[in-house]
């Protein structure tokens, strides 16, 4: 049984919508699939009724390719950074928040609504973006150079690279930078906490996290971030909450004090 037959059995009267979104996606990335089965696999999103095995394999491949290609692009960009700095820069370019923003530019939510999943979380959207990269690599005959140029374009590499460098914390881990700032500002009289709450299920966690700085001596909260989430891992949520608090400090003009 081919994909269309399987799809129609599971999602009656939805194929025309799905096919329309397929064409839209390919036009938006300026890449036309030779073998649509690779694209179908990349869009069999977790939470849908479609088989997930190939989606997960494509996602794994796409994640690996993104790491490699963005590492190459960063390596070629500048001689100013040591390997540790390059790793931090790459983490900023490939974290769930960044990938989810890239995914928002593409019609993944159209697919997820057709498939009965609803609006995708950041982690789901990032997974879809990675799966798409894996599918493109397989479809183009594993031609790495062509994929490199496509990723440079659809990830807005130049723009995002400059944006990260222009942030006061640059390529640094936001939690580490926030700790350095708090150390300068409050000396030893501070504590950084990341209160979190899991609003998902045991087998599908959705963590919502805040970051706050309080005085050790009094317990008084000096400043706190907005709540971020949902995140699959608490560590990811803590980084995003720290970043959110740094943005707040930047807007208040306090980071350079």
Q: Which of 59, 130, 139, 240 is catalytic?
A: 130
CA 35 to chain centroid: 26
Q: Where are the strands (E) in the chain, listed by range?
A: 191-193, 196-198, 207-209, 212-214, 221-224, 228-231
CB 244 within 8 A of CB 225: yes
Strand order across the beta sheet in which 191-193 lies: 191-193, 212-214, 221-224
What is the number of other CB atoms lying within 10 angstroms of the CB of residue 241? 29
Angle subtended by helix axes 96-104 and 122-139, to nearest 10: 70
Known active-site residue 130: yes
CB 164 within 8 A of CB 93: yes
CA dihedral 96, 98, 100, 106 (to 10 degrees): -150
**What is the Rg, in whole angstroms, of the alpha carbon atoms belonging to the chain?**
21
Known active-site residue 63: yes
Residue length of the chain: 257
**SS3 of 71, please?**
helix
Q: Which of 63, 127, 139, 238 is catalytic?
A: 63
Catalytic positions, please?
63, 130
């Amino acid at each position: 049984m081919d994909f269309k037959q399987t799809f129609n059995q599971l999602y009656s009267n939805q194929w025309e919508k799905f096919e329309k979104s397929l064409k839209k996606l390919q036009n938006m990335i300026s890449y036309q699939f030779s073998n649509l089965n690779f694209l179908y696999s990349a869009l069999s999103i977790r939470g849908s009724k479609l088989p997930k095995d190939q989606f997960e394999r494509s996602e794994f491949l796409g994640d690996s390719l993104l790491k490699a290609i963005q590492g190459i692009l960063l390596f070629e960009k500048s001689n100013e950074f040591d390997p540790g700095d390059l790793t931090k820069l790459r983490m900023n370019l490939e974290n769930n928040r960044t990938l989810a923003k890239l995914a928002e530019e593409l019609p993944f939510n159209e697919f997820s609504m057709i498939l009965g999943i609803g609006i995708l979380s950041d982690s789901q959207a990032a997974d879809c973006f990675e799966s798409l990269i894996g599918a493109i690599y397989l479809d183009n005959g594993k031609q790495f150079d062509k994929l490199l140029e496509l990723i440079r374009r659809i990830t807005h590499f130049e723009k995002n690279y400059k944006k990260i460098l222009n942030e006061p914390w640059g390529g640094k881990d936001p939690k580490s930078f926030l700790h350095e700032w708090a150390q300068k500002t409050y000396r030893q009289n501070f504590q950084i906490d990341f209160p979190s709450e899991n609003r998902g299920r045991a087998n599908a966690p959705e963590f919502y996290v805040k970051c706050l700085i309080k005085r050790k001596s009094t317990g008084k909260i000096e400043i706190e971030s907005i709540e971020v989430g949902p995140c699959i891992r608490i560590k990811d949520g803590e980084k995003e909450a720290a970043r959110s608090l740094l943005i707040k400090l930047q807007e208040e003009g306090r980071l350079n004090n």
